[in-house]
Amino acid sequence: MKLNCDLGESYGAWQMGQDEKVMPLIDMANVACGFHAGDTSVMRKTVALAASHGVEIGAHPSYHDLPGFGRRSIPHTPEEIEALMLYQLGALQGICRAEGLTLSYVKPHGALNNDMMRDMSTLEAVMSAIHKYDSTLPLMIPATVHHERHRKLANYVGIPVLLEAFADRAYDDEGQLVSRRLPGAVHQSVEAIVAQALSFAHKGGVKSTSGQWLDLPADSLCVHGDTEGALAAIRQIRDTLDSTPQA
pLDDT of residue 43: 98
Q: What are phi and psi of 214, to 5 degrees?
A: -120, 120
With a cut of 70, say whether residue 245 has pLDDT above it: no
Span 186-233, pLDDT tens digits: 998 889 999 999 999 999 999 999 999 999 999 999 998 776 778 888
Q: Does the pLDDT of residue 123 top 70, yes or no? A: yes
- Count of beta carbons in the 10 Å neighbourhood of residue 27: 16
Q: Which percentage of the chain shows pLDDT scores above 70?
A: 98
Q: Give the mean model confidence (pLDDT) for residues 68-83.
A: 97
- Residue 60's beta-bridge partner residues? 32
What is the share, in percent, of the chain residues with pLDDT greater than 90? 84
Q: What number is the average pLDDT over the span 130-149?
A: 96
Across the chain, what does the average pLDDT equal? Answer: 94
Per-residue model confidence (pLDDT) at position 159: 98
Q: What are the pLDDT digits (tens) for 233-242?
A: 899 999 988 8
Checking if the pLDDT of 25 tops 80, the result is: yes
| pLDDT value at residue 242 | 87
Would you state the pLDDT for residue 229? 76
pTM: 0.93
Q: Which domains does the chain have, with CATH numbers?
A: 2-243 (3.20.20.370)
Using one digit for the tens of pLDDT, what is the confidence trace for 150-173? Answer: 999 999 999 999 999 999 999 999
Q: Label each residue of the chain as H, E or C.
A: CEEEEEECCCECCECCCCHHHHHHHCCEEEEECCCCCCCHHHHHHHHHHHHHCCCEEEEECCCCCCCCCCCCCCCCCHHHHHHHHHHHHHHHHHHHHHCCCCCCEECCCHHHHHHHHHCHHHHHHHHHHHHHHHCCCCEEEECCCCHHHHHHHHHHHCCCEEEEEECCECECCCCCECCCCCCCCECCCHHHHHHHHHHHHHHCEEECCCCCEEECCCCEEECCCCCHHHHHHHHHHHHHHHHCCCC
